[in-house]
Amino acid sequence: MTASDDRMTGIFENLEVPEGVKAELIRGEIVMTAGPDTVHDLIVLAIQHQLPYGRWRPLTTQDLGIPGQASEPQPDLVVFERGAVQEHGRLLPSPAVTLVVEVVSKTSVDRDYRTKRELYAEGSVPAYLIVDPIKGVCVLLTELGRDPGSGLPRYMSERTSKFGEPAPVSLLEIDLDTTDFQQYV
């Protein structure tokens, strides 16, 4: 990280965000978005309720620390194994997380499909689930590897499931029931 990255991190950590607004630090840029749609929130809730709580901790509004990056994204849902991290503090180290979930909004399409895909791979998160209420699909990205051209980390496997079909998440040993997932109107 550069001095300007450190400066932006300091500004971000002291930022007072109005209620109903989400703020993230993405590649040195503070990104603020309005509160989510009800469809979005119900999808996140449905996923949370399907995770075996005895083994997994599903958290919303949890900031991730990405090693070596001027980024502190706040995924819609973060899932980590019970006991994998100290359960206190503002930042959860991304390598300790098993799955991140982003529910696409009309203003976050590029950020969720491209920027965060790269960022979570660089942060060594083993699985990234993109739930897209615009297209009515779930896209699960797994199997971290290296891009042959750039050498940067990337997800080598991509599996798409339509809403209404089970969405297998083998790392969590579950098949997500997506029958209640709705598309945006």
Q: What is the pLDDT of residues 65-117, one digit of tens each?
A: 999 888 889 999 999 999 888 777 788 999 999 999 999 998 899 999 999 99
pTM assigned to the model? 0.86
What is residue 181's predicted lDDT score, i.e. its pLDDT?
Answer: 98
CB proximity list for 167: less than 8 A, separation 6 or greater: 129, 138, 140, 161, 175, 176, 178
Q: Which domains does the chain have, with CATH numbers?
A: 36-176 (3.90.1570.10)
- CA separation for the pair 165, 15 (Å, rounded): 41
What is residue 1's predicted lDDT score, i.e. its pLDDT?
Answer: 54
DSSP line for 16-65: -PPTTEEEEEETTEEEEEEPPPHHHHHHHHHHHHHS-TTTEEEESS-EEE
